[in-house]
Structure 1
Amino acid sequence: MKIINCIKYLMLLAVVSILTTSCSSDDDRGAIVDSPQTSTSKYVVGFEAFPVGDASSVDYILELPSLESLTTGEISVEGQGIPQKGWRFFHGVENTVFTVGYGDDDKCIAYGLDTESKLVEKGNFTFESTLNNYAAIDDNTLLAVELTFGGTSQEGSIQALSDKRFHIIDAETGKLQKIVEHPIDITVGDGTAANPGTIPWVTGMVLQGDKLFVSYQKLLADGSTVTVDVGRAYVAVFKYPEFELEKIIYDDRTSPIGINGHSTGIEKTENGDIYSNSSSALSAGFTSVTKPSGILRIKNGTTEFDKDYFFDVENAPNGGKIFWMDYVGNGKAIARIIIDDTIGPWKAFLEKDVLKMVVIDLVNKTVTDVQGVPIHGQRYTSPMFVEDGKAYISASTATETHVYIVDPKTATATKGAKVQGVSLKGIFKVTN
């Protein structure tokens, strides 16, 4: 009898086990159905193609299969890529790449990856006047400001275009959220060519907490690009997002900050400090020079230039006049230095043998030449692409263009992929 009862008990346990296993399997199947899809990352470049005949060059946005595509072989838009209209700026915010028309087009287009990991247009908007300076002020927002020169009215008198139009753009949708108009440091003239007044030209924007720092130069308000007040660096400090101008700060140890176009005039480091760079170069658009090319600092939590910090880059060993600078991390920046400022006005934007690449240690105030990058040219550069501590940068000589992979720790570079075009205007990584 004991044996029979034991057998019955074991059979009951087996039935319970089968039922429990069946329920568990049903639960597991539910968990598998609800599991999230894995994300995919791709590399995207802004590609400036060769012009055809006498036509202007046309830009493309091009998807690359892997990071290796930047390090070996050739990059071309033949049979691939999305052609854009005319010459453009490129800028990235988190997983969105923006292309913005300049001259030939008045549209800003946002691209990202869809659910099938295909590069597609996310949204777009048109603007009234050329957008000229951009900043990813957080992971969701692109801030762009219009370029205004001033100009001449129909009656022949000078009219100053005083207000700067800041475009606040949602990076997720690619749509314009709003436009905020605000004057910055204008000087009203008397309407004559002899006294047109001055207007600001924005060269950089950085958000620190609830403060927006905006660097700028001053131009004559007569439609020219004549720089004035060249013996001071200027930054306007706004309360953000209200766009209330709190103060204008300046420093007379160097020149106005940044250069024309896609300038990274001011940048923020990991500890929240802000560094600015001033060119003082005639070949980079200045019409007169009185101060050395240098770097200033605004310490985290303050709204004034640090009186105890100034780096005279122009007169430092291996130094010179800064054409472009971007922060790479760990207190270091990569910069392009003009090797000859006597080549003529604006020629640093045009020549192919006028720039050298350096690593600038912002903390220790040193300049080190990057070995492996030739003397070169590069008209405009988006904020550079950094992965695993290495910077990927396009540089052009008189005969060819390559991607260079720069190690800021050793100030050495490896020649990467050859670009079958004028240049790469931006390198980005996007994830869906």
Structure 2
Amino acid sequence: MTLPNITRRLALPVLSLFATLLFTSCDDDKQNEPDPVAQDSQFVVSLAVQGSDGGFTYYTVPFDDVMTGSLSAVGQGIEQPGYYDFTQIDNTLYSIGGLDDVNVVGITKNAAGELTQLGNVSFTNSLSDIVKADDNTLVALELSSASDMVKFHTINANTVTVASTKQHPVSDITDLEAPSYSGMAISGNHLFLSYYISDPTTFATPYTDKAQIAVYSYPELEFQKVIEDDRTGPIGGFNTKSGLTKDEKGDVYALSHSNPANGYSQTTKEGGILRIKSGETAFDPSYFFDVEEATGGKTIAHLMYLGNGKAFAEINTADSEQQARWTDSPLKSAIIDLYDNTVTYIEGMPEHAGNGRRLAALHEGNYVYMAIPEGNGIYVYRIDTENHTATKGAEVQANFVAGISKL
């Protein structure tokens, strides 16, 4: 759950680690070959720039190329001061406000090929996330420590307006401390909501001995039950939003890590991945991806599904007891196979820190694009998901990249 008070106190300090970065010219030895992907659309990069008052402004800017030169927000794009999270669904980039910003705006292209804002809807509390239900419908979630209700909003994807709202008491899913959002997926006639328990005052996580997912019917959005599994700990982590992943078959995979670097105050179970088979509403007892066994004791912090059972992963290379809390680091990129339970690390990409939030990465064809801090700058990397290699690209003139997409 993107809690306003937690985000202000914890996420921004993580982000401010990058505030003092100096931006220099691109390395002379950088490989600047042309992007092999056909330019039938433009890259759209959401750049976060910190002002003298400590606050951030986000600039969502189109670029023809992200592999050469530098990417700057100066005088360009759509400007949004405050705190925002970005997620792309089909041909629209959704800007989700956090902290005191409780609105959602769609960013798309008009007939002239220019970026334009679509709709502007506000909520009582910041949305935790938005996921696709079908070509015309999105489902958004409000799950806040300021409310004792779990609120689902169905949103018209074409107008970014609320079509309906359904709410249920938090007590349906837990009688403990406030549940914190970690992932949401719709498969068939069910919506799955993953969460972990975090004290809203101290942010401690005293309950880490099992995974829990709330199951709701879809499209009725009626509460059905909570399913649990003690083979691993809670699903997801603070602000990562990647606790649940769905494949082409409709199977849902649940990622657990209990990383201190992603908000946990303790770790009591090994990190792993569970599965809910398509059409089922229980964890599959025959499936368990023992991530720590596959990585030699390491855990996956972020996950992005690519297709055919493959996913891009950011793996924390420090043992849990060695991780500094809230740092979202140190990370190493890899491709994992959810079907074969294998991990293959990416060559040519340095160990790096994350942004303490949703993974800002673009998957297109056989490539993943993302920006990481390196030395005194931030650089885009293009990752070949077939050959497991990475190529260094453009330098980014910002404090961090909050989103990268193609429209």
Shorter-chain TM-score tier: 0.7 to 0.9
The aligned counterpart of 1:363 is 339
Quick check: 1:319–1:367 contact (8 Å CA) kept in 2?
Answer: no
CA distance in 2: counterparts of 1:199 and 1:206, whole angstroms: 21
Q: 8 Å contact 2:195–2:213 — kept in the other structure?
A: yes
2:137 to 109, 125, 141: 141
SS at match of 2:386: coil
CA distance in 2, matches of 1:120, 1:313: 42
Question: Which amino acid is 1:396 matched to?
Answer: P
What SS is found at the alignment partner of 1:204? strand
* Residues 398, 234 of structure 1: alpha-carbon distance in 2 compared, 3 angstrom cutoff: farther
1:427 is the counterpart of 2:404: yes
Match in the other structure for 2:120: 124
Moved over 3 A (4+): 184-188, 381-384
2:183 maps to which residue?
204
Distance 2:250 2:128 in 1: 25
Shift of 1:54: 4.2
Q: Is the 1:237–1:248 contact (alpha carbons within 8 Å) kept by the matching residues of 2?
A: yes
Query: 1:60, 1:319 → 2: CA distance?
Result: 39
Q: Which amino acid aligns with 1:44?
A: V
d(CA) in 2 for partners of 1:42, 1:271? 30
Q: How many residues were matched structurally?
A: 364
Alignment of 1:13-412 (within 5 A): 41-49=41-49, 51-64=50-63, 66=64, 69-149=65-145, 161-184=147-170, 185-188=172-175, 197-220=176-199, 222-317=200-295, 320-340=298-318, 341=320, 342-348=322-328, 354-379=330-355, 380-382=357-359, 384-412=361-389
Task: Answer 1 or 2: higher relative contact order, Cα 8 Å, separation at least 6.
Answer: 2
SS of match in other structure, 2:261: helix
CA-to-aligned-CA distance 1:22-53 (integer Å, 9 cap, x gap): xxxxxxxxxxxxxxxxxx7433222112x233
Q: Give structure 2 stretches of 5+ with no counterpart.
A: 1-39
Give the letter aligned to residue 377 of structure 1. A
Which has the higher mean CA deviation after the structures are superposed, 381-390 or 112-121?
A: 381-390
Taking structure 1 as the reference length, the TM-score comes to: 0.79
Report the structure number with the largest CA radius of gyration: 1
CA distance in 2, matches of 1:397, 1:48: 17
Q: In the aligned structure 1, how far is the partner of 2:142 from the partner of 2:337? A: 32
Q: d(CA) in 1 for partners of 2:58 and 2:177?
A: 33
Kindly state the Cα deviation for residue 362 of structure 1 after the two structures are TM-superposed: 1.1
8 Å Cα contact 2:273/2:288 also seen in 1: yes
1:158 alignment partner in structure 2: none
In the alignment, the residues of structure 1 paired with residue 141 and residue 392 of structure 2 have an alpha-carbon distance, to the nearest angstrom, of: 35
Q: TM-score, normalised by structure 2?
A: 0.84
Residues 367 and 383 of structure 2 are in contact (CA less than 8 Å); yes or no, is this contact kept in structure 1?
Answer: yes
* Maintained 8 Å contact 1:168/1:176: yes
Give the 3-state SS of the residue equivalent to 1:142 in structure 2: strand
Residues 73-120 of structure 1: CA deviation (Å, up to 9, x unaligned):
211111211110212101122111111221142221112111222211
What's the CA shift for 1:292?
A: 0.6
**Gapped regions of structure 1 (runs ≥ 5):** 1-39, 151-160, 189-196
1:283, 1:262 → 2: CA distance?
11
Classify 1:281/1:70 alpha carbon distance in 2 versus 1 (closer, same or farther; 3 Å): same
Contact 1:318 1:367 in 2 (8 A): no
CA displacement at 1:199 relative to structure 2: 2.7
Amino acid at match of 1:393: M
Secondary structure of residue in 2 paired with 1:401? strand
C-alpha distance in structure 1 between counterparts of 2:90 and 2:113, whole Å:
16
Q: Which moved more, 1:80-89 or 1:337-346?
A: 337-346
